[in-house]
A and B are shown apart, each in its own frame.
Chain A
Amino acid sequence: NAGVMQNPRHLVRRRGQEARLRCSPMKGHSHVYWYRQLPEEGLKFMVYLQKENIIDESGMPKERFSAEFPKEGPSILRIQQVVRGDSAAYFCASSPGQVTDQPQHFGDGTRLSIL
């Protein structure tokens, strides 16, 4: 039973390029969450999605960042015109339903490096 799958594990981009991070939730999970982790810090919530819907994007930067979770396929976190400050580990988590009293399960993250 595969867990949350993220790819790529490592992504290198030059300033100004676009970064696309993918997340396939656990089987049976229809809710996806994205978090960002800077070195030596805790995870910071970015966005919460269900299939074809953004439920809460209060943690997303207002510009350059977007997320989607289409009916078919993985969830995508997209960062346009990347800057050095976007360098971080980006984690995806999934849960079977609306977060109530069920833990989220995390992938192993995508480490984004901006040159």
Chain B
Amino acid sequence: GESVGLHLPTLSVQEGDNSIINCAYSNSASDYFIWYKQESGKGPQFIIDIRSNMDKRQGQRVTVLLNKTVKHLSLQIAATQPGDSAVYFCAERGKLIFGQGTTLQVKP
């Protein structure tokens, strides 16, 4: 069946460093991906999305890279801040198949 999954359950980075969160998907027909951030006690918050006709998309301090050959996408956060501490999910369109999140811990 379809699945998405993140590579690491937890990522710990120093404040100011860059963070990279990786995600793999299984459905080669997937054409739209979304990254969400979920803080404790809250619902997922949209961060950035990317369509399969793109390899890269940039937002404010975030960049998503899509490698369709190996069915992999990553979320890069520049100059990570304490406020970035949360669980990050990648999801593919449709019914939004969520993988297990990666918990980002930012050390001051």
Contacts and interface: CB of A to CB of B under 8 A. Distances in A.
Interface string B42-54: 1111100101000
A97 B82 CA distance: 35
A104 B34 CA distance: 9
Interface string A86-104: 0000010100000111011
Given A41-B100, A91-B43, A99 B34 contact: no
Contacts of B95: 33, 45, 48, 56, 58-59, 99
B93 interface: yes
A42 B101 contact: yes
Contacts, number: 55
A109 B42 CA distance: 7
Contact of B89 (A33, A42, A100, A103): A42
Give the bracket for the number of chain A residues in contact with chain B. 20 to 34
B43 A101 contact: no
Nearest to B51: A101
Contacts of A76: none
B98 A108 contact: no
B96 A35 contact: yes
A43 interface: yes
A40 to B, nearest CB: 8
B101 A107 contact: no
A38 B95 CA distance: 18
Interface of A: 4, 6, 33, 35, 41-45, 48, 56, 58-59, 91, 93, 99-101, 103-109
Interface of B: 32, 34, 36, 41-46, 49, 51, 89, 93-101
Given A100-B32, A103-B49, 12 more contacts: A43-B96, A45-B97, A48-B95, A91-B43, A93-B43, A93-B44, A99-B93, A99-B94, A103-B46, A106-B36, A106-B43, A109-B43
- 9 closest cross-chain pairs (CB), A and B: A106-B43, A42-B98, A45-B95, A103-B46, A43-B98, A108-B43, A106-B44, A101-B32, A108-B42
